[in-house]
Structure 1
Amino acid sequence: MWDLHHLEKAHSGYFKHLFIAMWFNLLGLVMVITGIIHALIPWLFPFTPYLLARKITRKTEQYFIQDD
């Protein structure tokens, strides 16, 4: 839960991490909203929550997970 070396492990600086994490949080919020709408009205936003989750996962791996 508390890792003072998180930025080092993520190969990221503070502001890069801040902006990317906030962008992912916004995408997550959109994912939740479109997911609820899709659950109630299935023909709206087909696959949108899935595609957003996949985008967040892929970009996280691209930005923060690097082989040493």
Structure 2
Amino acid sequence: MSDKPRENRVREHRKAAGITQAELARAGGVSRQSIVSVEGGDYAPSVYLALRLAAALGTTVEVLFPLNEEG
């Protein structure tokens, strides 16, 4: 298993919602750079942040961060 967090669907859902990284960052209580890192798969958010992002995007954590059982 690599050190890089697994892929996620945050960017896809953010764009579908029509909000910017800065707007999502405000909703999550983090910096825009944190959202950039999450979307790029460079940072795995805390459970709390994942829940806040899911709520802001009108979806669930499981949809944003699907488990990949192959790894």
Q: TM-score, normalised by structure 1?
A: 0.31
Structure with the higher helix share, 1 or 2: 1
User: Which structure exhibits the higher relative contact order, with contacts defined as CA atoms closer than 8 Å and separated by 6 or more residues?
Assistant: 2
Q: TM-score, normalised by structure 2?
A: 0.30
